Amino acid sequence: MEYKITARGELETIEFAQNLESEKFPNMIICLNGELGSGKTVFAKGFGNALGVKESITSPTFNIIKEYEGELPLYHMDVYRLDGKTDGTPIEDYFTKGGVVIIEWADMIKDILPPERLDIKFKVAGENSRVLVVTPRGKKYEELCEAVL
């Protein structure tokens, strides 16, 4: 099953992220894909703010992984620079640390992603519009989508 949501501006992307956050659970994995500037980091900011993160959430492009404290820990990753090579980067360790993992450019590490996760593809549909294609993988994620979409 696949869901399509149209977000007309950053505020609607943030609202969508906040809706998903309302159904969060430990070890939740959210995989974001889409071209540069399509809204991946905006989504992460919205989710993090709803989670109670006080710090300013920025793209972890040069850090690869940023950790934030909220109601649950938030592990925000940008794996673009890894170019598919995760040697020495403990990405998989974060999948079971009890927090929420948000991975930007997740397709670059698809070989190590857990089978149960939420995939969100961001597609630019106009200057301020984005189509978000949401694909739940696994029962928990299907139930999450049924609850909020």
Chain-wide mean pLDDT for the chain?
94
Q: Is residue 120 part of a domain?
A: no
Q: Is residue 121 part of a domain?
A: no
Instruction: Print the domain residue range for 57.
Output: 11-115
Distance in angstroms (rounded) separating the CA atoms of residues 107 and 9: 24
Query: What is the widest separation between alpha-carbon atoms in the chain?
Result: 39
Q: How confident is the model at residue 63 (pLDDT cuts 50, 70, 90)?
A: confident
Q: For residue range 75-127, what is the model confidence (pLDDT) as tens digits?
A: 999 999 887 777 778 899 999 999 999 999 999 999 999 999 999 999 999 99
Q: In the chain, how many domains are there?
A: 1
Q: Is residue 138 part of a domain?
A: no
- pLDDT of the residue at 41: 95
Q: Is residue 39 part of a domain?
A: yes
Q: Is residue 80 part of a domain?
A: yes
Q: Is residue 90 part of a domain?
A: yes
CATH number at residue 74: 3.40.50.300
